[in-house]
Structure 1
Amino acid sequence: MKLSNRFLLAACVPLVLSACATTAPPSQVVAPVPTSWQAPLPHQGSLQGLSDWWSQLDDPLLVELIEAAQGVSPGIAQARSRIEQARAAQATARSALLPAVDGQANASRGFNEQVAAIATTAQAGLQASWEIDLFGGNAAAQSAANQRLAGAEALWHEARVSVAAEVAQQTSSLRTCLEQLRVAERDAQSRAETSRLSDLSERAGFTAPATAALARASAAEAQARVSQQRMQCDVELKALVALTGLEEPALRTRLAASPARPAPDALFTVDVLPAQVLAQRPDVYSAERDVAAASADVGSAQAQRYPRLALSGSIGTAWVRTGGATTDLNTWTLGPLALSVPLFDGGRRAAQVDAAQARYDEAVALYRARVRQAVSEVEQALVRLQSTAERNTSARAAAAGYRTSFDATEARWRGGLASLVELEDARRTSLAAENAVIALQHERQAAWVALYRAAGGGWKP
């Protein structure tokens, strides 16, 4: 080939390469959200007080339990491990954009043909290679690694939010159970007293045996209910022990010294714009980073279908010592400049692009589904908060009224003006109303916890 033809071919190579280009899908997609919440907002306020919200409850024990649980949570440990893995993958992807340098050295002693004598030979050198990222494949891989690292860091915050919410929910459930246990114990004591008085009245001939038997049955039923409630509280306690890793005896002592507090009317409020609330949810942010990473993966896969250009070089030194004389030799090379053009691979690279595109489509669908789910979770929590607020006054009024009715019926029964059947009916109604008030407090606390979690726990990307 003539020299002019060689120069012409070299000049055409950049033109051919420039005709190849990668086209990645959008790294950001739109997820439709409503312009405003459809459920009632607490006090129609703005977003505030989400960060470390549990400290606002004036409950030092809850703060301690959450911190203990976050220290032993396998979910948080797993999220932390994924951050380290993503950081390592980021470093690997970054290294592909930089030259690689390897060093080597060796020494030997033996017969050397060049000097025709016994000689000691030593060599040392450096070899470098660099793939020129013509079509941005390596840069796209690094971008994908960066996005996945950001997503992993967000999921670590999501794990912390989840643990805090779970501990708060479990603590509220246990305290509710203990409060219902105290109600059941008072009810059992009251029924036992009724049974005792009925037995005395039966022995005196003023009460029929069937009536006394009803009183004894009622007392036995109450005692069984106490045993069942105590069992439920023990189960709840052991679940909290497993969450926090604390010793059970110490936790029992702390709970006894820290009684349940009523759920506050307002812990925090949410903004009227859903997009602002959803933007601070770690899971939504992570899903958005997954879309960006998948987009970069498509660009990286497309770049593998185009030519690759690599440059290498080396530098070294060697010396030979024989008969008291030493000979030095220094060498260096720049090149070759290697161009690799894919011609036939049986459709492997095209299939990799199709797979990357499919993963991108999946990431987009998951991101939009995550946004819809986030909106739904906030809406549901707001509805539950509104419902518990509306029922609170009525439930307390009902409990007070039924308690007054029971006290009056008990006074009438003691005076012989009411039957034991009437007394037991009034007692059951009063007990159910009192337990309903306690359960409603737990439901409201759970609604606040759900709203805290649905609103992202105060995390900021």
Structure 2
Amino acid sequence: MTRVIPTTLALALTLAVTAAPAEAETLREALARAYQENPTITGSRAQQRAVDENVPIARSAGRPSLSTNGSATENFVRSGNSFTTPEKLARAQLSLNVPFYSGGAVRNSVRAAETRVEAGQLGLRGTEASLFTEVVAAYNDVIRDEAIVGLNTQNVRVLETNLQASRDRFQVGDLTRTDVAQSEARLSLARAQLQRVQATLIGSRENYVRLVGSAPGLLETPPPLPNLPQSADGAVEVALRDNPNLLAALKQRDATAFDIRVAKAGRLPTLGAGLTGGYVNYLGSLGGDTGLGVGQTGTTLGVGLNVTLPLFQGGRPAAQVRQAQANRALALENVTAAERQVISSSRSAYAVWQSSLQVINSSEQAVAANRLSLEGVRAENSVGNRTILDILNAEQELLNSQVTLVTARRDAYVAGFALLAAMGQAEAQDLGLDAGPLYNPADNYRDVRGRFSDFGDGPAPVPIAPSTANVPPQDAAVTRPLDPLLDSKVDRSPALTTGENAPNR
């Protein structure tokens, strides 16, 4: 949250917006909407504001306190003289207490709270990166699944046309029942596959709605990711230095050292000064002038020094120290766990990214080869050298290679972005979001850390993230252009004259 220099990733996303068609939704727009309205990030900001308040709460223990109390008493049964049990009595008292020394408890409590504020700010950066990674994955999931649904839709259309042609040719005796059965079986499988991928697309679109808050429109192809590392070791080196979750764990570890000092202060003396003023009024119940110089009213003013030296507290301070030490041991282990997670995430994301790039290269070659193969099989079928089954198999192989290609492109992009997130380079300031002023948690902290008024309440909380109840249910409709090669008949043999009364074979 403290870096202000935009990276190449922000420039790449900006250029993508400039080049995208006006009606298309870009990845940068989706990220900006999620940044503003996703309940995970807005809730994390509220949680951080609550953490900010721990600093003035800790400071309040070392500030002067002022209190007052009053009472009015009427005694119905009295014994003794009127000076000890007057008939009526009203009292008022005003006390000022100024603590001077608390064994370091206040100072260390403030330091612990300030350190946890820094940890929370770093954690908020990590929440941003995690959310953006989810949005990038959801965005690419929709693009991938739309492409897969489109490919399978084309496959079903072609197989439907081919089945009708096979039946026509069967009627004139050019094909056998086996050819027709093969076409029917392949069409049934294609329809089942289409239903499955349509359900997957609907799920991806609903997940997009959950994260972004609106239905996905026509999604523009995301821009290339810049500044990806050259090696896994290079990624890990940057991640260990800049990953916000690891930095937050380190700050939480530092805060526990102050907690131990606070617990140890429970065995030390405390010192404070007090000023007390009092007023008493017997409400005329003394029966007039007593003749002893005692009037119906009186005032007092006293100054004192308060010293508390704990001698025995039943083992409570030692238990608190041991508890704080155990919490520090937990924080130390959490740092190691966070470090391991960062290393694992960086290496895994790098491996998936590299593997997906290789799959993309191989799949592109496979698609090109399968296109050529399909054209060749169709041409050979037209002269009788290939069967319908050969064409169906060639078409299925092309479909499979295209699905593999779009899936690998999705996996490469998501893994690349996850790698940037692990390296601490995929947060709001890195992306250059067009979402107005970015949220800066330090602004709220600077506003509240020095407050001391007992009546400086904040505004009443209101929800920020909108509901998605009014977003229409998503469907599996695809409007992207189809592949011309797949959007054509499987069987390109010359049309034959069909005979309604032709004998079956």
What TM-score bracket applies, with the shorter chain setting the length?
A: 0.7 to 0.9
Percent identity between the aligned chains?
A: 21
Q: Tell me the residue number matched to 1:95.
A: 60
Residues 141 and 296, structure 1, Cα contact 8 Å, conserved in 2: yes
Identify if the C-alpha distance between structure 1 residues 236 and 324 changes in structure 2 by more than 3 Å, giving closer, same or farther. Answer: farther
Residues 48 and 269, structure 1, Cα contact 8 Å, conserved in 2: no
Q: Tell me the residue number matched to 2:406.
A: 438
Query: Which residue of 232, 236, 259 maps to 1:297?
Result: 259
Residues 282 and 297, structure 2, Cα contact 8 Å, conserved in 1: yes
Alpha-carbon distance between aligned partners in 2 of 1:372 and 1:410, rounded to the nearest angstrom: 55
Cα drift, residue 143 of structure 1: 1.1
Identify if the C-alpha distance between structure 1 residues 274 and 443 changes in structure 2 by more than 3 Å, giving closer, same or farther. Answer: closer
Q: Tell me the residue number matched to 1:49.
A: 8
Alpha-carbon distance between aligned partners in 2 of 1:273 and 1:174, rounded to the nearest angstrom: 28
Cα drift, residue 53 of structure 1: 7.3
Cα drift, residue 202 of structure 1: 0.9
> Which moves more between the two structures, 184-193 or 97-106?
97-106
Identify if the C-alpha distance between structure 1 residues 243 and 412 changes in structure 2 by more than 3 Å, giving closer, same or farther. Answer: same
Say whether 1:63 aligns with 2:28: yes
Identify if the C-alpha distance between structure 1 residues 212 and 273 changes in structure 2 by more than 3 Å, giving closer, same or farther. Answer: closer
Alpha-carbon distance between aligned partners in 2 of 1:313 and 1:422, rounded to the nearest angstrom: 101
Instruction: Letter of the 2:366 partner, please give it.
Output: A
Q: Tell me the residue number matched to 2:455.
A: none
Query: Which residue of 315, 331, 335 maps to 2:304?
Result: 335
Q: Tell me the residue number matched to 1:80.
A: 45
Alpha-carbon distance between aligned partners in 1 of 2:10 and 2:239, rounded to the nearest angstrom: 13
SS at match of 2:277: strand
Cα drift, residue 197 of structure 1: 1.9
Q: Tell me the residue number matched to 1:153.
A: 121
Q: Tell me the residue number matched to 2:456.
A: none
Instruction: Letter of the 1:284 partner, please give it.
Output: L
SS at match of 1:380: helix
Q: Tell me the residue number matched to 2:276.
A: 314
Say whether 1:278 aligns with 2:240: yes
Say whether 1:429 aligns with 2:397: yes
Alpha-carbon distance between aligned partners in 1 of 2:379 and 2:310, rounded to the nearest angstrom: 100
Q: Tell me the residue number matched to 2:105.
A: 137
Q: Tell me the residue number matched to 2:226.
A: 267
Instruction: Letter of the 1:184 partner, please give it.
Output: N
Cα drift, residue 50 of structure 1: 5.0
Q: Tell me the residue number matched to 1:287.
A: 249
Residues 195 and 212, structure 1, Cα contact 8 Å, conserved in 2: yes
Structure 1: segments with no counterpart, 5+ residues: 1-46
Cα drift, residue 243 of structure 1: 2.4
SS at match of 1:447: helix
Aligned residues: 405
Alpha-carbon distance between aligned partners in 2 of 1:301 and 1:197, rounded to the nearest angstrom: 86
Residues 280 and 458, structure 1, Cα contact 8 Å, conserved in 2: no
Identify if the C-alpha distance between structure 1 residues 239 and 262 changes in structure 2 by more than 3 Å, giving closer, same or farther. Answer: closer
Cα drift, residue 419 of structure 1: 1.1
Cα drift, residue 194 of structure 1: 2.0
Alpha-carbon distance between aligned partners in 2 of 1:445 and 1:69, rounded to the nearest angstrom: 19
Identify if the C-alpha distance between structure 1 residues 142 and 219 changes in structure 2 by more than 3 Å, giving closer, same or farther. Answer: same
Under a length normalisation based on structure 2, what TM-score does the superposition of the two structures give? Answer: 0.71
Under a length normalisation based on structure 1, what TM-score does the superposition of the two structures give? Answer: 0.78
Identify if the C-alpha distance between structure 1 residues 241 and 129 changes in structure 2 by more than 3 Å, giving closer, same or farther. Answer: same
Alpha-carbon distance between aligned partners in 1 of 2:136 and 2:316, rounded to the nearest angstrom: 52
Cα drift, residue 239 of structure 1: 1.9
SS at match of 1:97: coil
Q: Tell me the residue number matched to 1:388.
A: 356
Q: CA RMSD in A?
A: 3.3
